């Protein structure tokens, strides 16, 4: 009998370099019932939005307009009632490590060290190799937490916790980073540092970023495109390209171009809240 020679394959698939994937939100509606007896109310109605691979998109809109709902659907934590959302051309059916999610309050594992928090995802997937451990150490250096790798989350400041949450998402080389008002709980100075840090990370990783904020100044500083949402039911009221060259200095918030861009965004925001 002929022997079949089976060559051992690599233990783990080579980890693809991070590259953003495009997201398409196509005619998406989502309904919620506040009480069992109540008819379902539309939280989002016929929302369509195209996000090109590798771009930085900010979602801006009044409280309750459905920003988190939309982000959670891109994350795969919620399913649309109508329409479809794709990432990299594939319909989103469930959460996945290819879409990293960052919340306002970072969801870290308090019983794990900083380094083990970063390594949690790869370990859960059985991919905690020496190479991945080196990547974790690199990421900790990039986010400025090398000296804290053996500390625990409760020993970190708010900004450090957010940087750790970002490192933990980035180790999975996500095609998309979904951020829900991630810097909303930080003081103004830390927030400025975090914005600069995020732009550096984005410039080097080229992942697609979908960033929710209700701060128009922040949106104009960060985004390639600002999508403005209107409330009840949530719709996209405007999509504004921000063609300001990068790097954009936070010191230039009073520059003519940043002021003009904020005005353009607010024009859609004013319209969107006029009927609330
Ligand atoms: P935003 O993030 O823009 O503040 P949300 O996406 O959290 O808005 O909420 C949009 C609307 O959907 C709100 O009216 C909110 O009350 C409603 N909503 C969100 N999640 C639920 C839920 N799980 N059950 C019922 N209603 C919800
Ligand atoms: Mg929200």
Mean pLDDT of the residues in the chain: 89
- The better pLDDT of the pair 255, 18 is held by 255
Provide the pLDDT confidence category of residue 272 given band limits of 50, 70 and 90. low
Backbone CA torsion sign across 94, 100, 106, 110: positive
Question: What residue's CA is closest to ligand 1, atom 5?
Answer: 66
Question: What residue's CA is closest to ligand 1, atom 20?
Answer: 69
What is the CATH number for 231? 3.40.50.300
Ligand nearest to the CA of 231: 1
Per-residue pLDDT at 1 exceeds 80: no
Number of structural domains the chain divides into = 2
Which regions of the chain does DSSP assign to beta strands (E)? Answer: 23-32, 41-51, 56-60, 82-87, 90-91, 99-102, 176-180, 208-212, 225-230, 235-241
Provide the pLDDT confidence category of residue 229 given band limits of 50, 70 and 90. very high
Same domain, 161 and 205: no
- For the stretch 93-128, what's the b/e string if a residue is b when 16 or more beta carbons lie within 10 angstroms of its beta carbon? eeebebbbbbbeebebeeeebbbbbbbbbbeeeebb
| Whole-number Å distance between alpha carbons of 93 and 211 | 21
Same domain, 210 and 115: no
Q: Is residue 77 part of a domain?
A: yes
Q: What is the mean pLDDT of residues 237-253?
A: 91
| Model confidence pTM above 0.95 | no
Per-residue pLDDT at 179 exceeds 60: yes
| Whole-number Å distance between alpha carbons of 92 and 80 | 10
Q: Is residue 36 part of a domain?
A: no
- Our answer on whether the CB atom of 67 is closer than 6 Å to any ligand 1 atom is yes
Same domain, 93 and 227: yes
Report which ligand 1 atom has the smallest distance to the Cα of 30. 12
Whole domain around residue 263: which residue ranges? 52-98+181-276
What is the per-residue pLDDT for 12?
A: 36
Ligand nearest to the CA of 103: 2
Provide the pLDDT confidence category of residue 205 given band limits of 50, 70 and 90. confident
What is the per-residue pLDDT for 234?
A: 92
Q: Helix, strand or coil for residue 192?
A: helix
What is the per-residue pLDDT for 276?
A: 36
Neighbours of 187 (CB within 10 A): 11
What is the per-residue pLDDT for 158?
A: 92
Same domain, 62 and 161: no
- C-alpha separations of 114 from 44, 119, 136, 145, 179 in Å: 37, 9, 10, 8, 20
pLDDT in tens, 66-102: 999 999 999 999 999 999 999 999 999 999 989 999 9
**Which of 69, 179, 232 has most ligand 1 atoms within 8 Å of CB, for mutation?**
69
| Whole-number Å distance between alpha carbons of 261 and 256 | 9
Provide the pLDDT confidence category of residue 270 given band limits of 50, 70 and 90. confident
Report which ligand 1 atom has the smallest distance to the Cα of 66. 6
From ligand 1's centre to the CA of 70, what distance in Å? 10
Question: What residue's CA is closest to ligand 1, atom 19?
Answer: 69
Token code pair at residue 98: 């290819």
Q: Is residue 42 part of a domain?
A: no
Neighbours of 11 (CB within 10 A): 8
């Amino acid at each position: 009998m002929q022997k079949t020679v089976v060559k051992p394959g690599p233990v783990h698939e080579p980890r693809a370099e991070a590259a953003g994937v495009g997201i398409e939100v196509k005619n998406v509606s989502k309904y919620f019932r506040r009480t069992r007896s109540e008819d379902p109310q539309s939280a989002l109605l016929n929302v369509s939005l195209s996000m090109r691979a590798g771009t930085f998109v900010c979602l801006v809109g009044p409280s309750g307009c459905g920003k988190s709902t939309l982000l959670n659907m891109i994350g795969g934590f919620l399913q649309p009632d109508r329409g479809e959302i794709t990432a990299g051309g594939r319909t989103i059916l469930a959460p996945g490590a290819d879409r990293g999610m960052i919340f306002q309050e970072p969801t870290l594992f308090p019983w794990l060290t900083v380094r083990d928090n970063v390594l949690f995802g790869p370990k859960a997937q059985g991919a905690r190799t020496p190479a991945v451990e080196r990547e974790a150490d690199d990421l900790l250096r990039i986010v400025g937490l090398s000296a804290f790798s053996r500390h625990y989350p409760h020993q970190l400041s708010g900004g450090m916790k957010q940087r750790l949450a970002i490192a933990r998402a980035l180790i999975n080389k996500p095609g998309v980073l979904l951020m829900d008002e991630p810097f909303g709980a930080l003081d103004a100075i830390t927030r400025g540092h975090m914005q600069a840090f995020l732009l550096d990370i984005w410039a080097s990783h080229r992942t697609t970023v979908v960033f929710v904020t209700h701060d128009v100044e922040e949106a104009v500083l960060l985004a390639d495109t600002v999508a403005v949402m209107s409330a009840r039911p949530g719709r996209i009221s405007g999509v504004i390209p921000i063609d300001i060259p990068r790097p954009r200095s936070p010191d230039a918030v009073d520059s003519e171009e940043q002021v003009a861009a904020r005005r353009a965004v607010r024009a859609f925001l004013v319209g969107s809240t006029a009927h609330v």
